[in-house]
């Protein structure tokens, strides 16, 4: 399996094009390191024999074992393992595992390039598979740039005053295309080795130049990444915790006349597939969220238990009740992901794709709960999460003795452990990273309204009306054909069934 050393060697060779705070920085900038460590953790997982078959998979495309984040899901079991891997990785990352955007990007391209070819006689799928072989052979790490800066939200791409508000084709050449424009909020771009670029919305005929999809290394000439890293405030005494070592980054990606060779172009003007590819990415990503959101609930639930123990209030009746709310949020999102798999389907590309309705409800309902879950932590922890003296004050200066007495609440929890608990609660609940997770819970993978739109498209409302018409006595019979069609994928192998059972670390 690919190691983190190989990954770091590759990063070191990339063209410097990352900007933080107005300065051009290298990919070894310490502010990027907390995010890079999450990528490292994923590579370590793939190299760990204990997680073979979960973090790794045998790819039929290159006929070898590869990192699962580079693999196109082929079977229901693949989707179950993907969801489990994301939960597993996110628990270790203290939140975002950062590799699912790339995975959801290649998944969307695999399905859509095949469909475009079938409709238009193009050869995008073959080009894409050639790219995928290279991607999988080298087990590269990808990010996905879907979200355009979008300018005036009420205007379509072709109506914008500045065409760069959406990435678009500026020139078509024999050997490729030139593209320009802005993509924003792109997670992990500085330490990704490939960037999957796809449209963000449904497009009209006049938007044909905006119907463009491709894969390109993020250090390609003409690309600049203006990056906003987020990380935890680490301990100042040289000690640290796994949580405090990790972070993330998001970038505004500027494409300024970037050349994309033909073999990397996977959509070029097919505006009528804009909505399809945008939804394919979003729906796959919402299925991924059914793995990561349970992990975030796991972390918040665990932190709330620690805070309750430190406060010695575990026996209070309202604490148990509040803890069960985490169980509800986490188990429902996870169950929605499993249901999305059971009701998923094989696409013409061979990719097994999750059911969009279950993926969307899992994402929407659990995403919106995120502020509520942080509120539970805040309620149980008390005000110390934002008023505790700095960690350094416990370690040096005139007040060390007082502080180590002050921090004692539960006689069973010693001062040093209590300090670690409150530092963790502070970082988890009130830091810049914490705000990142709250906003990501609402908007990452699409704002709630986008999930509402997806549900409006895919949910069978007519069927529900028919139930009511029958029960009200308007229709004499009830058409239950929908229920007959809704057979889960019974073809789950015994091994896959076992995975469903062990995939739920409740």
Ligand X SMILES: Cc1cc2nc3c(=O)[nH]c(=O)nc-3n(C[C@H](O)[C@H](O)[C@H](O)COP(=O)(O)OP(=O)(O)OC[C@H]3O[C@@H](n4cnc5c(N)ncnc54)[C@H](O)[C@@H]3O)c2cc1C
Q: Is 171 helix (H, G, I), strand (E, B) or coil?
A: strand
- Tell me how far, at minimum, the Cβ of 442 lies from ligand X, in Å: 7
Angstrom distance (rounded) from CA 223 to CA 181: 10
Buried b (16+ CB within 10 A) or exposed e, 87-103: bbbbbbbbbbbbbbbbb
Tokens of 229: 């890293």
- Tell me how far, at minimum, the Cβ of 60 lies from ligand X, in Å: 27
Closest CA to 451 of 331, 372, 359, 327: 359
Q: For the residues of 253-276, what is the DSSP string, one character each?
A: EEEEEEEEEGGGEEEES-GGGHHH
* Contact characters 101-140, ligand X, x per CB under 6 A: x---------------------------------------
* Contact characters 240-269, ligand X, x per CB under 6 A: ----------x-------------------
Asked if 197 interacts with ligand X (CB under 6 A), we say no
- Tell me how far, at minimum, the Cβ of 198 lies from ligand X, in Å: 8
Buried b (16+ CB within 10 A) or exposed e, 308-346: bbbbeeeeeeebeebbebbeebbebbbebbbbbbbbbee
Asked if 187 interacts with ligand X (CB under 6 A), we say yes
- Tell me how far, at minimum, the Cβ of 200 lies from ligand X, in Å: 7
Residue 143 or 319: the one with the smaller Cβ distance to ligand X is 143
Angstrom distance (rounded) from CA 465 to CA 142: 44
Q: Which of 8, 150, 245, 275 binds ligand X (CB under 6 A)?
A: 150
Q: Which of 49, 154, 174, 321 binds ligand X (CB under 6 A)?
A: 154
Phi, psi of 313 (to 5 degrees): -120, 20
- Tell me how far, at minimum, the Cβ of 59 lies from ligand X, in Å: 24
Phi, psi of 444 (to 5 degrees): -60, 135
- Tell me how far, at minimum, the Cβ of 450 lies from ligand X, in Å: 6
Angstrom distance (rounded) from CA 369 to CA 81: 25
Buried b (16+ CB within 10 A) or exposed e, 18-47: bbbeeeebebebebbbbbbbbbbbbbebbb
Angstrom distance (rounded) from CA 140 to CA 475: 57
Q: Which of 95, 247, 444, 503 binds ligand X (CB under 6 A)?
A: 444
* Contact characters 353-392, ligand X, x per CB under 6 A: ----------------------------------------
Asked if 436 interacts with ligand X (CB under 6 A), we say yes
Asked if 447 interacts with ligand X (CB under 6 A), we say yes
Asked if 501 interacts with ligand X (CB under 6 A), we say no
Q: Whose structure tokens read 């495309």?
A: 61
Angstrom distance (rounded) from CA 195 to CA 224: 13
Instruction: Looking at 48-93, list the stretches that DSSP marks H as alpha helix, in order from N- to C-terminal side.
Output: 76-93
Q: Which of 25, 43, 108, 186 binds ligand X (CB under 6 A)?
A: 186
Q: Which of 113, 180, 185, 330 binds ligand X (CB under 6 A)?
A: 185
Q: Which of 153, 205, 315, 484 binds ligand X (CB under 6 A)?
A: 153
Residue 150 or 409: the one with the smaller Cβ distance to ligand X is 150
Asked if 288 interacts with ligand X (CB under 6 A), we say no
Residue 449 or 472: the one with the smaller Cβ distance to ligand X is 449
Size of interface with ligand X, in residues (CB under 6 A): 21
Considering Cα of 101, then 107, then 110, then 113, what sign does the dihedral take? negative
Residue 69 or 235: the one with the smaller Cβ distance to ligand X is 69
Residue numbers 9-68 binding ligand X by CB under 6 A: none
Angstrom distance (rounded) from CA 79 to CA 411: 46
Asked if 503 interacts with ligand X (CB under 6 A), we say no
Neighbours of 492 (CB within 10 A): 18
Cβ(451)–Cβ(286) under 8 Å? yes
Residue numbers 68-107 binding ligand X by CB under 6 A: 101
- Tell me how far, at minimum, the Cβ of 367 lies from ligand X, in Å: 11
Asked if 439 interacts with ligand X (CB under 6 A), we say yes
- Contacting positions for ligand X (CB under 6 A): 101, 143-147, 150, 153-154, 185-187, 250, 436, 439-440, 443-444, 446-447, 449
């Amino acid at each position: 399996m690919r190691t983190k050393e190989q990954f770091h060697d590759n990063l070191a060779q990339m063209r410097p094009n990352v900007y933080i705070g107005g300065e051009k920085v290298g990919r070894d900038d310490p502010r990027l390191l907390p995010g890079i460590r999450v990528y490292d953790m994923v590579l370590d997982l793939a190299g760990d024999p204990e997680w073979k078959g979960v973090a790794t998979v045998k790819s039929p495309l290159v006929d070898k074992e590869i990192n699962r984040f580079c693999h196109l899901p082929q079977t229901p079991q693949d989707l179950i393992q993907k969801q489990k891997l994301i939960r597993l990785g996110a628990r270790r990352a203290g939140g975002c595992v950062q590799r699912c955007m790339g995975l959801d990007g290649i998944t969307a391209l695999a399905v859509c390039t095949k469909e475009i070819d079938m409709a238009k006689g193009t050869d995008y799928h073959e080009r894409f598979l050639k790219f995928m072989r290279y991607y999988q052979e080298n087990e590269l790490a990808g990010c996905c740039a879907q979200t355009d800066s979008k300018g005036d939200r009420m205007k379509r791409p072709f109506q914008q005053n500045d065409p760069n508000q959406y990435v678009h084709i500026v020139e078509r050449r024999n050997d490729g295309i030139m593209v320009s424009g802005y993509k924003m909020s792109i997670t992990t771009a500085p330490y990704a080795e490939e960037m999957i670029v796809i449209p963000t919305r449904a497009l009209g005929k006049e938007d044909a130049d905006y119907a463009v999809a491709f894969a390109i290394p993020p250090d390609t000439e003409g690309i600049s990444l203006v990056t906003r890293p987020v990380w935890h405030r680490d301990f100042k005494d040289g000690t640290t915790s796994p949580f405090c070592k990790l972070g993330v980054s998001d970038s505004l990606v500027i494409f300024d006349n970037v050349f994309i060779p033909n073999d990397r172009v996977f959509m070029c003007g097919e505006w009528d597939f804009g909505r399809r590819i945008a939804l394919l990415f979003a729906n796959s990503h919402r299925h991924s969220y059914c793995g990561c959101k349970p992990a975030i609930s796991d972390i918040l639930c665990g932190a709330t238990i620690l805070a309750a123990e430190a406060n010695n209030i575990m026996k209070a009746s309202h604490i148990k009740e509040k803890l069960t709310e985490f169980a509800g949020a986490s188990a429902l999102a996870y169950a929605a992901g499993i249901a999305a798999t059971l009701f998923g389907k094989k696409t013409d590309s061979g990719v097994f794709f999750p059911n969009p309705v279950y993926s969307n409800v899992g994402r929407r309902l659990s995403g919106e709960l995120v502020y509520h879950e942080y509120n539970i932590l805040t309620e149980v922890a008390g005000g110390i999460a934002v008023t505790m003296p700095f960690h350094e004050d416990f370690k040096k200066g005139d007040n060390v003795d007082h502080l180590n007495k002050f921090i004692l609440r539960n006689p069973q929890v010693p001062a040093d452990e209590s300090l670690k608990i409150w530092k963790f609660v502070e970082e988890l609940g009130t830091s810049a990273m914490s705000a990142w997770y709250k906003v990501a819970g609402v908007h990452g993978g699409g704002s709630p309204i986008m999930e509402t739109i997806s549900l409006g498209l895919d949910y069978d409302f007519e069927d529900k009306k028919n139930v009511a018409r029958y029960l009200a006595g308007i229709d004499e019979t009830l058409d239950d054909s929908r229920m007959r069609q809704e057979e889960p994928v019974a073809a789950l192998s015994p091994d896959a069934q076992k995975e469903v059972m062990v995939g739920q670390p409740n």
